[in-house]
Amino acid sequence: MALRSTPEDAFDGVPNYDYEPRYVSIDAPESPEMAYVDTDPAGDAAETFLCLHGEPTWGFLYRTMLPTLAERGRVVVPDFIGFGRSDKYTEREAYTYRLHYDALEQFVAALDLQDVTLVCQDWGGILGLPVAVNNEERFARLVPMNTGCPTGADEMAEEWYEFRDFVESVDELPIGMLIANATVSDLDEEVLAAYEAPFPDEELKAGAREWPDMVPRADGGDGAEITAPAREKLGEWEKPAFVLFGDSDPITGPARDPLRELIPTASEEPDVWIEDAAHFLQEDAGEEIAEEIVAFVDRTPR
C-alpha cells in the first residue's frame, strides 16, 4: 500500500496561512502522519476550537476564521489523511470510513483535547459528529455547518449525484474548479492554487476521488455502522449545539432543519442562516461565521 507526502515546497505560494505545520503519527497501514496547525500548542487557552474540513479541501479553508477564533481560544485545524500536508495513500481502496474515523479519534486523544467546540463542515461533520458523540467527555459544544450525520438510508440530492459522477468520470480532478463552483464569492487564482497545492499529481488525489462515493446513503457508501448509531446519540445530545448553514448550498441545505430538530439543544440557539454563502461557507463568509461562533461560546459558558 503506497503512501506519499506532498513536497513541502508545493505549499510555498499558499497565502495567509503562515502557521507551523505539526504532525501526529496514526496507527494505520504504513503509519501515515496527520498534519495540523495549532495556535496554542501548550494548551493554555480556556477554550479549544477543533475545525474540520471536508471534500476536497484542507485546513487552509479556515484561514479567515482563525484570527477571530484564536482571540477567544486555542484553534486546532487538522488535515485528514489524503489531504493538505497529511500523508496520502495512492490507491483509493486504502481509504475507508473506519480509517478516517480512527485517525480523527487518535488525533484528538494524542493531543488530549478537552472541552472542545467542534466546528465541522462537509466530511468534517460526517466524521466529526460521530467522534464527538462517541467521546462526549472531550467535547463541550457542536457547530455543524453544511454537513450531517447520515444513517445509510438517506436519499441523496440530484446535485450530489452530478458531483459524484463528475468526480468518477474525469481523468484529471480539477480541485480548484470544484471549490470555485461551490462558492458564491469569486476566488482569486492564488486561493485556487492553494487548494491545488496538496495535489501536484493525480496519484495524490486518491482520497479526494474516494470521499464522494464513500458518503453513507441508501444506494452505497461506507461507514453507516458508525454514523447510524451516532445519529441516535445526536438525538440525545445535552450540551450546546449551534447549527450554522449557508443559504446557497443545494446539496446540504435541505439537511439543515432536520439536523437542527434532531439535536435537542440546537433549537435553543438563534435560527441563523449565513446569507450569500454556498457549500464552502468558510470562503464566502469566514469572518462572519467566526464571530457567530465566538458569540455562541460566550453565551454558553461551561
Active site residues: 122, 249, 279
Strand-pair category, 139-145 with 3-4: unpaired
8 Å CB contact between 278 and 245: no
All three cell numbers of 135, joined, read: 467521546
Helical segments of the chain, H only: 66-72, 97-110, 123-134, 158-169, 175-181, 189-196, 206-214, 224-234, 256-262, 281-299
Q: Phi, psi (5° rounding) for residue 14?
A: -70, 125
Q: Which residues of 138-151 are buried (b: 16+ CB within 10 A; e: fewer)?
A: bbbbbbbbbbbbbb
Strand order across the 33-38 sheet: 22-25, 33-38, 74-78, 48-52, 116-121, 139-145
Residue for cell digits 441516535?
232
